[in-house]
A and B are shown apart, each in its own frame.
Chain A
Amino acid sequence: MELLITNNPLAKSMLNEKYEVIHINSDLVGVLIYCRNKIHEGHKLLTHPLSGSIKPNENPYKSVILSKKTKETDTQSVKIIEEAIITAKKFPKIHINPQYDEDYRMIDVSLVVRE
C-alpha cells in the first residue's frame, strides 16, 4: 500500500482505506523531514510536498503521498523534498487561527484527492 504521511486528522479519517496512513504530530517542516527519511529508505514521492498555493506558513496541515518501499533511493524525490524543506523554512511563522482549523484540513485533503 502507498503511504500517506500527514499531520492532518481529516486526511487520516478520509483516506485510511486507500493509503497506509502515518499520522505524525508535527508542523509542516516536521512532516517534510519525516518524508525525507522515508524517501531515503526507498519510498518515492508521489505528490509534490509543496502542494497548494496557500503559502507554507499559512496552512499548518500537510499531506504527502509516498510510494511503496523500493530497493533504491529515488534521486528526483530527494531533490524535490530537499528544495521543499528549504522553501518551507524560508517562510516566517505566523499566527494560525484555530477557528479555521476545519478549512485548513479540508483544503489540504482536496489537494491530494484527484477527483
Chain B
Amino acid sequence: MKLELGCIKIRDIMFADKSEIRDGILYVNAKELEQIVLEDEQISAVGFDIARPGESVRITPVKDVIQPRAKVEGGGDMFPGVVTKVATVGSGKTHVLDGAAVVTVGKIVGFQEGIIDMTGIGADYTPFSKTNNLVVDFSPKENLTAHEYEKAIRVAGLKVAYALGKLGVNHTPDETKVYEYSSIIEGSKLYPDLPRVGYVMMLQSQGLLHDTYVYGVDMKLSLTTMLSPTEVMDGAILSGNCVSACDKNTTYHHQNNPVIEDLFAEHGKTLNFAAMIITNENVFLADKERSSDWSAKLVDYLDLDGVIISQEGFGNPDTDLIMNCVKIEKTGTKTVIITDEYAGREGTSQSLADADPLADALVTAGNANQVITLPKIDRVIGTLDYTEKIAGGFAGSLEADGSITVEIQAITGATNELGFNHMSAR
C-alpha cells in the first residue's frame, strides 16, 4: 500500500466571500460552512473564529482538533464511515492543508476540558498554538441529550475539515511525502536482516466523551485488529474523546501520528515496520483481558521482534497498558511503552496506577500534575465559565485578572502519549 501525502503550506486563515487557497492563505466563506453544519437539525447555531500563532487568544473548552485533508487519488475518501462512505483508504494521493486546523468548542456537559493558548507559556505546551486555527463553536437544539449533542459536534467538525480539505484538491503541493507499506511476506523478503517491529496503538473506548471510532465503528465494540498505518493518515481513526485534554488523541493527532511517522522514517534502515495493531481500552475487566490477549496473539502470530505500545488517557488504561505489555513480552517480543505520568504536583508519587517488572522500557510524555500559571490573555474564544471544572483546574483557578493556575493536564495535548509534543527534557 502506497500513499503520497501532498502538503499545501497554509500560513494564514482569513474570512472572505469565496472559499479558496491563494498564496498560502486559506480564505473561508463562513456562510457556506454554516450551511454545511446546519444540515444537521440538531445544531441550532454555529459561530466561526480564527486564532493565529502568537495572538493573545485562549481557546477553551476544546472538543477536537482536525486537520483539513482530502483524497485526490485512491480508494475511499476522508473520514470514511462517518463523513464519507465506508471504503478502504490509505493508498493513492491525499492533500493536506499543512498549518491549518479546525478546532471545535462547545458545552456538552457542565464540566469541561481543554485549553489552547496561542501565546505565552501555555502555548509551549500545546502543538495547536503553532497552527492557524479555524475555531467552530456549536450551539445545540434545546432538549438534545448529551449523547446526541456529542455526536452532532463530532461529525460537524469533521464535515468542516473535509470541506476545507477539498479546497486543496486541485493545488500543487509544496512538499510531497511518500509512505509505502509492504505485505508481511514482502517486507520480510525485502529486509531479511532487519528487526521486525510492530506498533500496538491503544484507543480510548469507555463511554460518553471517552470513545474512538474506526471506519465509523465504536472501538469499544471491536476486538483488537489490524490496519495499515497509511489508513490512519486518511482519517480511518477518529476521536470521540473530549476528556483528559492533555493525553487524549485528537483527530489531528491520529492523522499525524508521530510513532507511525518515525517508524516509517526508520523503515528499511534500522528496522522493518511490519505491522500496526489497534486495540481498545474498555471499562470491563473481561474486555481488557480479551483485548490484550488478542494483542499478544497477533504479535506472536506476526512473529514480531519488537513492539511499541502507545497508551491513551490515564487511570484504568494503565491496566490495559500493563496487560498488553506483559502478555506481549511473554510471547518473547520486546516492548517499549509510551505513557504519561500522574506523579503528583511534586512529582514524587507513583506515576501509573499499575506496574510490572516486565514493563522495563518506557518513554514518558511528562507529569500531567505539574502546575502552571497561564497569564491573562486578551481574547477568549469559547468561555472561561468552566475553568474551575476542567481537569487540573481547582477552586480559585481563575484569578480576577484572567490568569489561570492549573495542572498541565488542562492543556490540549500537553502530555500526549503519542509523543506529539514540542517540549522535551535532557
A interface list, Cβ under 8 A from B = 45-56, 58-59, 65, 80, 83-84, 86-87, 90, 92, 94-95, 97, 99-100, 103-104, 106-107, 110-114
Say yes or no: A87-B315 contact (C-beta < 8 A), given A53-B248, A100-B111: yes
Given A90-B349, A99-B110, do A48 and B207 touch, yes or no (CB 8 Å)?
A: no
Q: Nearest Cβ distance between residue A42 and chain B, in whole angstroms?
A: 16
Determine the distance from Cα of A112 to Cα of B220 in the docked complex, in whole angstroms: 12
Cβ–Cβ contact A53 & B314, under 8 A: yes
Q: Is the CB of A58 within 8 A of B220?
A: no
A residues near B220, Cβ cutoff 8 Å: 114
Indicate if B182 sits at the interface (CB-CB under 8 A): no
> In chain B, residues 81-131, which have Cβ atoms closer than 8 Å to a Cβ of chain A?
109-111
Question: Chain A nearest CB: distance from B241 CB in Å?
Answer: 8
Contact of A47 with B284 in the complex, beta carbons under 8 Å: yes
CB pair B350 A86 closer than 8 Å = yes
- B394 and A92 within 8 A (CB): yes
CB<8 Å pairs between A and B, sample of 6:
A46-B286, A47-B285, A48-B285, A52-B283, A65-B284, A106-B109
What 7 A-B pairs are tightest by C-beta distance, nearest first?
A100-B110, A53-B244, A48-B316, A103-B109, A95-B395, A50-B315, A110-B207
Contact present for A83 and B353 (CB under 8 Å): yes
A53 touches B210 (CB 8 A): yes
Interface string of B259-292 (1 = CB under 8 A from A): 0000000000000000000000001111010000
Bound Cα distance A50, B206 (Å): 11
Using C-beta atoms within 8 Å of the partner chain, give the interface range for chain B: 35 or more
CA distance A92 to B393 in the complex (A): 11
Task: Indicate which residue in A48, A59, A86, A92 contacts B283 across the interface (CB closer than 8 Å).
Answer: A48
10 further interface pairs, Cβ-Cβ under 8 Å (given A48-B316, A106-B146): A48-B283, A48-B285, A48-B315, A52-B207, A53-B241, A53-B313, A55-B315, A94-B394, A99-B110, A100-B109
What is the bound-complex CA distance between A95 and B146, given in angstroms? 23
Task: Let me know if A110 and B284 touch, CB within 8 A.
Answer: no
> What is the distance, in angstroms, from B339's C-beta to the closest C-beta of chain A?
13
Question: B313: which A residues are within 8 A, CB to CB?
Answer: 53
Residues of B contacting A86 with CB < 8 Å?
Answer: 350, 353
Chain B minimum-CB-distance residue to A45? B285
Q: A47-B285, A48-B319, A58-B389 are in contact. Are A87 and B342 (CB under 8 A)?
A: yes
B10 sits at the interface (CB 8 A): no
- Complex contact A111–B286 (CB within 8 A): no
Q: B72 in the interface, Cβ–Cβ < 8 Å?
A: no
Minimum C-beta distance from B413 to chain A (A): 14
| B315 and A52 within 8 A (CB) | yes
Which of B288, B313, B316, B342 has the most C-beta atoms of chain A within 10 angstroms of its own C-beta?
A: B316
B416 interface contact, C-beta 8 A = no
- B315 contacts which chain A residues (CB < 8 A)? 48, 50-53, 55-56, 87
Whether B391 and A58, one on each chain, are in contact in the complex, defined by CB atoms closer than 8 angstroms, is yes
Q: Do residues A107 and B209 form an inter-chain contact, with CB atoms below 8 A?
A: yes
Q: Give CA–CA (A69, B111) in the complex, Å.
A: 37
CB neighbours (8 Å) of B314 from chain A are 53, 55
Instruction: Check: B16 CB closer than 8 A to any chain A CB.
Output: no
What chain B residues lie within 8 Å of A110 (beta carbons)? 147, 207-208
Report how far A104 CA is from B210 CA in the complex, Å.
Answer: 14
Known: A50-B316, A83-B353. A55 touches B391 (CB 8 A): yes
Closest residue of A by beta carbon distance from B368: A55
